[in-house]
Structure 1
Amino acid sequence: MRLISLLLVCTAIQPSQAFIEDILNQAFGGAGGGGGGGFQFQFGGGGFHQPQQPRYKPVKFPKGVTSKIHKSMDWMKGTEWMWNDWEKVRFQSDGIFVAPTEECHQPQAKQCKWSADKDGNINIMWGKKSGLHEVKADHMPDMNDDDFELELPNISLSGKRKRDGAPLHAEFVQVFDTEIQDARRDLYGDLGLEPGADVSTVKKAFRKMSIKYHPDKTGNDPTAHRKFTRIGEANEILSDPAKKFLYDMGGMESVRAMEKGDIPRGEDGHVTYPVPLEKLYTGSKEHVRINRRVVCTGCRQKPDLEKCRGCGKCPDEVKMVQQQVGPGFFVQQQQQVPSRERCKNEDTELELNIEKGMMDGEQIVFEGMAEQRPGQIPGNLIFTIKQTSDQRFMRENGYDLRTATQIPLKEALLGFDRSMAHLDGHQVRLVKQPGEVCQPFEVMKIPGEGMPHKVEGGGHSDYGDLYVKMNVKFPESLTDAQREAIDKLFPAEETQ
């Protein structure tokens, strides 16, 4: 309706053709000054057309100038610099140079590239118009130092433009490519460990190094602060079995893919674990040995390593592949493909923390400790508590206990003060005062002598109650003298 109204007005007053084109372009968001790429209205040519982006041919370095990036200059990859106090430029890891100019702001056009030789000379082809720019760092960081990135802010670039000798300089801004940072990371090295160290060793190293580099000890030392941050990041990943497994298999790239939900998760393993009632009352540390399949990390590349002995073929991997289902139509499907990784069965010892008051059916979960399979996040290993029966005590309502004890007839009649052993061996006092007759099958309640109340996060807050059934032991027979004595003590009661 908006277009029709405009055309009616235009027809009535018959303005110039250029004026109408300008109105239509403003109304419908034409390309204008170079940002939008919308529709451009023109009369006499079919109404409107979509402007074509300029086509460029990939630029080439001049003869004698390398087109590659020497490995000693990898520190430049993924960095951003302030160029000539003007604008920020970027050195991509794929050799593309990005700058806010007509030729260099579209990386896909490959009009601007950079390279570097072993002597530290950095060559930039700034499109065909500006041509070759040559700069060099005032000093080089030590790539063997895990913390070499701390030195980058202290580095400057300087040089000149080849065609006219115009001076150039640049100051470091940041490493913008997190994938580059991830690829450079050695998490085990951050903690001073050899690759493949187990989780307990990782945690021990982290505790030691976190004390050494804690800000309370190091103050404002930027190197120590960076180290403290790095060891925290390393511990976060390597102390998590699932993340550690993926890091060992495919580095930080696999860990990031997991965090994005791009890696499937394997099945959980389930174990029913019998626990006596006594241990559910006292709590216990149980050491359990399991045998499971593990991936031999690093053995595909180096099968002759000592740790790779006994490693054989892994199960097939499940991968997502594109399948054509019709002309021009593709779907993503899961497909099993042979694995190139190596696997073996390995014994692992686990510690089960049986907490006081745990319930029958409660679960203890070991994250990422199910069987391993290449290309998958290991599932959890889940132990389900199976409470076994006790000869003397029975659990009731989760927190109470029931038991029975035998009382001689004499004590049932005259009173008693006796004790009985509990599940953990401590003595529970049972008392009937003189004059209080204990009836057969009477149940005595002992407050606070039941099962512990387990609380979330460990520990317990209270105890249930103990119920003791009194089984009065009657004599199997009486002598004549006993019968006469009882008859005198208990005269015949009148019956109705």
Structure 2
Amino acid sequence: MEYIDYYKILGVDKNASAEDIKKAYRKLARKHHPDLNPNNPEASKLFQQINEANEVLSDPENRKKYDQYGKDWKHADQFEQARQQQRSSGSYGQGNPFGDSGNPFGSDYFTYEEGGDYSDFFSSIFGNRGGGRQTKFKGQDFRATVQLSLTEAAKTHQQTFTVNGKNIRITVPAGIENGQEIKLAGHGAPGMNGGPNGDLYITFEIQNNTAFTRKGNDLYTDVPLDLYKALLGGEELIDTLDGKVKMKVAPETQNGTKVRLKGKGFPVYKKEGTFGDLYVTYQLQIPTGLTAKEKELIEQLARERKTN
């Protein structure tokens, strides 16, 4: 397994605080986001590495494992499980030539040693030395974060990202929620002694790149409406996620009037062809820079209203 220096990727020292890591991640994520680097084929890979580094170093428990075991930090739980099992069976220190002294190999071994498969290595310590049954362990679960724009989340599409040096391609259904987590069974670390692979958990972060506000499957937007159209009525072109629609404006429409466009909201997750609604709130625009003639007509209208 190739060693990835997460500290180097984020450009921080190994003694960096959690706040330093957060600031470094946000700065790099903005700089290297694929949407901002469409002509750079390496941007997506680098962006995924930045996300992976943040996932590990921003979690105190994962960071502790990474600092102790380096490239093999994902197997820390299996190592501890195996060691505890050896202790409880009374054979710890007999079949293990390194004894009970914490991490017998030191962090340098786990960080830089190249060679055989990790599971083979553990089997040589805790495996079937005397013909006994080997304990199976499930592989470590992986976690990753995928960032999407709101317009991307509104359409079913293919998404490719990198986890632990492996490219994974998934289909993202339209309507995914911000913060929603999905599980890809068996895409985590390999199991030990014939145990099942771990799972991959993906969390989606949705960044709003539109003028809409999303609430569930409904969208909300404010639309400016000029005074004359509000008084006399007419038509207004309204922006939606899939283009503009023409909507009638009733005469004497008041400021703050809210109208609903049914089925013009956000797609419902895993319900193809089903959408929420779009709510439009009219914001009345008072004309400025009136000419003398316009002022005279408005004064005439005001006098007319007083007499009625």
State the TM-score, normalized to the length of structure 1.
0.32
Aligned residue among 186, 196, 206 for 1:377: 196
The runs of 5 or more residues in structure 1 that have no matched partner are: 1-245, 251-261, 293-346
Aligned residue among 377, 390, 405 for 2:209: 390
Is residue 181 of structure 2 the alignment partner of residue 363 of structure 1?
yes
Is residue 147 of structure 2 the alignment partner of residue 274 of structure 1?
yes
1: CA distance, partners of 2:234 / 2:142 = 53
2: CA distance, partners of 1:491 / 1:351 = 70
- Contact 2:160-2:168 at 8 Å conserved across structures: yes
Query: How many corresponding residue pairs?
Result: 175
* Displacement of 1:354: 1.5
2: CA distance, partners of 1:268 / 1:353 = 20
Other-structure match for 1:447: 262
Aligned residue among 247, 271, 283 for 1:430: 247
One-letter amino acid of the counterpart of residue 290, structure 2: L
Other-structure match for 1:328: none
Which structure's residues are more often helix, by fraction?
2
1: CA distance, partners of 2:291 / 2:246 = 34
* Displacement of 1:461: 5.4
Is residue 292 of structure 2 the alignment partner of residue 483 of structure 1?
no
- 1:304-341 per-residue CA deviation (whole Å, 9 max, x = no partner) reads xxxxxxxxxxxxxxxxxxxxxxxxxxxxxxxxxxxxxx
One-letter amino acid of the counterpart of residue 286, structure 1: Q
Structure whose CA Rg is larger: 1
Which structure's residues are more often strand, by fraction?
1
- Contact 2:136-2:192 at 8 Å conserved across structures: no
2: CA distance, partners of 1:263 / 1:394 = 49
One-letter amino acid of the counterpart of residue 204, structure 2: I
Other-structure match for 1:350: 168
Other-structure match for 1:222: none
- 1:178-213 per-residue CA deviation (whole Å, 9 max, x = no partner) reads xxxxxxxxxxxxxxxxxxxxxxxxxxxxxxxxxxxx
- Contact 1:355-1:459 at 8 Å conserved across structures: no
2: CA distance, partners of 1:420 / 1:265 = 53
2: CA distance, partners of 1:388 / 1:438 = 33
* Displacement of 1:265: 1.4
Output aligned runs, 1:172-187, within 5 Å. none
* Displacement of 1:449: 0.8
State the TM-score, normalized to the length of structure 2.
0.51
2: CA distance, partners of 1:270 / 1:428 = 41
- 1:448-471 per-residue CA deviation (whole Å, 9 max, x = no partner) reads 1111222xxx44352211001212
Other-structure match for 2:8: none
- Contact 1:418-1:431 at 8 Å conserved across structures: yes
- Contact 2:219-2:279 at 8 Å conserved across structures: yes
One-letter amino acid of the counterpart of residue 283, structure 1: T
- 1:275-305 per-residue CA deviation (whole Å, 9 max, x = no partner) reads 2111222222111123x2xxxxxxxxxxxxx
RMSD (CA atoms): 2.8
2: CA distance, partners of 1:401 / 1:351 = 29
Q: Secondary structure at the match of 1:489?
A: helix
Q: Secondary structure at the match of 2:136?
A: coil
2: CA distance, partners of 1:477 / 1:266 = 71
One-letter amino acid of the counterpart of residue 169, structure 2: E
- Contact 1:357-1:460 at 8 Å conserved across structures: no
- Contact 2:189-2:198 at 8 Å conserved across structures: yes
Q: Percent identity of the aligned residues?
A: 23
Other-structure match for 2:239: 421
The runs of 5 or more residues in structure 2 that have no matched partner are: 1-118, 124-134
* Displacement of 1:412: 1.9
Q: Which has the higher contact order (CA 8 A, sep 6+)?
A: 2
1: CA distance, partners of 2:255 / 2:137 = 64
